[in-house]
């Protein structure tokens, strides 16, 4: 399963109302570290698709949601479960570290 694009308009339904945990990657086209973790997130989406949805929100196209969750630097990944923030990870990390973070938070 590929990552899912979300935005200000569908964040409540796709993330807060989701029936399983959702990791939201806040990113932008111009962000080098965001581009570095992108392929890892795609792979993790395929590997962990039964447990968690991995979504991506472009902060340039959708500026309202990052502000609501205190996103000040990117990449920032926030794990939501039952509509609540469970954990936050700021900065790029190797695939194994991201996977461990997700699994620990679940």
Q: Residue 104 has which token pair?
A: 């620990």
Residue 80 falls in the annotated catalytic set: no
Residue 31 falls in the annotated catalytic set: yes
The single residue listed with the structure tokens 């962990």 is: 48
Of 23, 24, 31, 74, catalytic = 31
Of 6, 24, 34, 59, catalytic = 34
Residue 30, Cβ neighbours under 10 Å: how many? 9
DSSP secondary structure string for all residues of 1-65:
---EE--TTTHIIIIIT-SS-EEEEEE-TT-HHHHHHHHHHHHHHHHHTTT-EEEEEETTT--HH
User: Catalytic residue numbers?
Assistant: 31, 34
């Amino acid at each position: 399963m590929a990552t899912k694009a979300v935005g200000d308009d569908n964040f409540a339904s796709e993330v807060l109302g989701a029936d399983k945990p959702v990791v939201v990657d806040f990113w932008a086209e111009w962000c080098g570290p965001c581009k570095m973790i992108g392929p890892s997130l795609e792979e993790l989406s395929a590997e962990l698709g039964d447990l968690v949805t991995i979504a991506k929100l472009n902060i340039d196209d959708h500026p309202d949601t990052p502000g609501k969750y205190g996103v000040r630097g990117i990449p920032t990944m926030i794990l939501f479960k039952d509509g609540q923030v469970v954990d936050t990870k700021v900065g790029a990390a190797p695939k194994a570290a991201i996977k461990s973070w997700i699994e620990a938070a679940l």
